[in-house]
Chain A
Amino acid sequence: MRKAATAHELPDTGQVRAQAASRPTSRPDMMTRLRPYLYLTPAMICFILFFFYPIGSIIYLSFQDWSLINLEAMEWVGLQNYTELVADQEFQQVLTNTLVFTFATVGISLAISFLLALWLNKKAKMYGIIQATVFSPHIISFVSVSMLWMWLMDPQFGLLNAVLEAVGLPGYTWLTDPSSALLSLILVNVWKGVGYNTLIFIAGLQSIPGDIYEAAALDRSPWWRTLTRITIPMLSPTMFFLFIINMISSSHAFDTIAIMTQGGPINSSNMLVYYIYEQGMDYYNGGFAAAASVILLLIVGVLTALYFLFMSKRVHYR
């Protein structure tokens, strides 16, 4: 529109016409070329300020001796935070707890949700209701879920021990014993997350073309062969996606720990993010907190890289 109008208004001389031909095309061109960047600017400013700069900053801070109380007094200490951290027994336990918690939560949750998905993947309305029920804890705040389970796991008046005693079993120690606290947290996190995984598995199952199953049925393939030769291989991308997503979210578990155990008893349920929080905000040991953050960043970074490698091999970008 603008292009046409300016061309018409210009006097018809050869020189001006040449200018006109280049100017109107080059001016909107400039705008057209800049426009996508302009549209991206607000979001990118936010990502730089609250994502990319902080990532650089945490790496820098991990080489400093610093604390939140006095940010002026920073001192470059090289790798000292890392060497001290790795030698620190408390941190070793935190790292072990995080790994145990993450692998156990992910393994148990994926196994249960896979079986649930095979079972609940049916059209009848009943199954839809059960799916929604299993999913419901996922949208409830970790605060409520944690406090609810603290109450269920209360050693004296809690429902879980009441049930155990009713069937003649001894009460369990749940959150109050170093040998059971981490296990109890795993239980709560599995309970909260299993519904999400189930629904993703069901979505994956539904995307498997039905004629493959029809062919298998014609061949009189027994159910276990259908499962191992068709369902599981066809579902492996979903499994991989869920594995990565669950590993990442479990590796930064915080809310259940902060509310239910505060990392105790005797550090038995402490994990990386809670450790970072304690070191940084309570003990004002910024160097340790930053170095631990970078270690967690590396773990999540490797998982993310694995995921993208896998996706880029599989997905055709439109």
Chain B
Amino acid sequence: MKRVGAISLKTVEWAGLLVVALLFVFPFLWMASTAFKDMSEVRQFPPTLLPETWEWGNFVQAWESGPFLMFTVNSIVVAVAILILQFLTAVPAAYAFARYQFPGRNLLFGLVLVALMIPGYIIFLPIYVQLSGWGLVNTLWSLILPYAASAFGIFLLRQAFMQVPDEVIEAARLDNASEWKIMWTIMVPMAKPVLVTFGLFSFIYHWNDYFWPLIMTNSDEVRTLPVGISSLRMSDGGTLWNVMMAGNMILILPILVIFFVAQRHIIKAFVYQSK
């Protein structure tokens, strides 16, 4: 009797877990299913679970409704350029915070922490004014430069650099390695897991970003994929849900692929913020 109770409790828990999983997975499956339906099936009631006829043309229609190759290239260029710049600015800064005692260190690090907390959403107007004064609005630079330094990256790398044992650095100094060389050839390789973590975070964040390119650009030549995809919702004559969902799939798939491959790293990357 007791055993039966235990088994059915387990069953209830598994049913509950399934419901939780479906609440988060089913919307994505629904997106995929819709992306393959033709418009008459999209408007069918009650809706069908799987498409009756698989309409690959939705993806073509989404892709050809704007310069999507250009959007994709822009998205990659922006995300990669930001990543490189953040790496180049964060490594020396994190090294300075982690390995040197100097007057003003706590103050400067406090400023980095403040920059970590306050989002760009609040100060986009003055940045826009400034960039437009330099003639950079509506260029890829306006999407890249404001993110050239990452407070989060400095914060993470600083912690990684602090964990490198002193002996490693002392040994390198005895070998006459310059500080600059120690930083790039000893510290950076030792911080590799953190760099991967940060790289994933930064790439995903900027690949997904909608707000900044929407504010800073107004022509297709410099717009990125999220802005391009979002304009699919403004089609004439009724919303083409199937084309919209097909476009969404284009935006999501690279991230989902990365998520499957590097799930543990990604979860660490986003959860790390709490530490």
Contact = CB atoms under 8 A, between A and B. Distances in A.
A141 B208 contact: yes
Contact of B204 (A38, A127, A139, A318): A139
A232 interface: no
A183 interface: no
Contacts of B125: 58, 61, 276, 280, 286, 289-290, 293
Nearest to B269: A139
Interface stretch (B27-35, B50-58, B164-172, B188-196): B27-35
B274 A203 contact: yes
B76 interface: no
Contact of A61 (B20, B21, B112, B126): B126
Interface string B69-105: 0000000000000000000111011011100101001
Interface residues of A, number: 92
Interface string A199-236: 11001000000000000000000000000000000000
Given A37-B102, A50-B146, A304-B117, A318 B162 contact: yes
Contacts, number: 248
Contact of B108 (A40, A141, A258): A40
B93 A238 contact: no
B122 A281 contact: no
Interface stretch (A89-97, A103-111, A146-154): A146-154
Interface in B175-195: 176, 179, 183
B122 A300 contact: yes
Contacts of A200: 271, 274
A245 B273 contact: yes
Interface in B129-164: 129-130, 132-133, 145-149, 151, 154, 162
B123 A143 contact: no
Interface in A51-81: 51-55, 57-58, 61, 68, 71
Contact of B119 (A1, A238, A242, A300): A300
Interface string A131-155: 0111111111111101111111010
Contacts of A129: 21
Interface in B10-62: 16-17, 20-21, 23-25, 27-28, 30-31, 34, 42-47
Q: Is the interface of A mostly helix, strand, loop or mixed?
A: helix
A52 B21 contact: no
A196 interface: yes
A286 B129 CA distance: 11
A151 B241 contact: yes
A301 B273 CA distance: 19
A289 to B, nearest CB: 6
21 contacts: A35-B96, A42-B92, A54-B127, A55-B126, A58-B126, A61-B129, A143-B226, A147-B244, A148-B27, A149-B27, A151-B31, A151-B244, A157-B43, A157-B45, A191-B24, A245-B274, A276-B124, A300-B117, A300-B118, A304-B118, A308-B113
Interface of A: 1, 33, 35-40, 42-44, 46-47, 49-55, 57-58, 61, 68, 71, 116, 119, 126-127, 129-130, 132-144, 146-152, 154, 156-157, 159, 162, 166, 191, 195-196, 199-200, 203, 238, 241-242, 245, 248-249, 252, 254-255, 258-259, 273, 276-277, 280-281, 286, 289-290, 293, 296-297, 300-301, 303-304, 307-308, 318
